[in-house]
Amino acid sequence: MVSVPLLPREIRLHSQSNELELVWSDDIKSRLSGALLRKACHCADCLSTGERNQVEEDALLIRNVVGAGHYGIQIIFSDGHDRGIYPWLYLRELGQV
Ligand SMILES: [Zn+2]
């Protein structure tokens, strides 16, 4: 179980390796690849069509990360897909192996 509230202290986008790094308030670090994040998108489109499981390699680059208030972040991918909002807790869970 993860204690609440849990927020990232830092968010870094590593363009070279196509990874998003988060440093959490409890000093745990998560490194999430663009591929993992794109396939984990749970916007209405991805969930209803299963599109996220068939994305092309070139659709998996993280273009930009935008804050979505206290809730989490919005990630924009190289294929233009930008509908996914990733809540903090979801990102934390994705980062746990
Ligand atoms: Zn999506």
Domain spans of the chain, in order of start? 8-94
Distance 3 CA to ligand 1 centre (A): 27
C-alpha 5 to ligand 1 mean position (Å): 26
H/E segment holding residue 48 = helix 44-49
What average pLDDT does this structure show over 44-50? 84
59 backbone dihedrals φ, ψ, rounded to 5°: -95, 0
pLDDT at residue number 29: 95
Q: What is the Å distance from ligand 1's center to 42 Cα?
A: 5
Q: pTM value?
A: 0.86
Q: Cα(20) to centroid of ligand 1, in Å?
A: 17
Q: State the average pLDDT over residues 39-62.
A: 81
Q: Which fold has domain 8-94?
A: NE0471 N-terminal domain-like (3.30.2020)
Q: How far is the CA of 7 from the centre of ligand 1 (A)?
A: 23
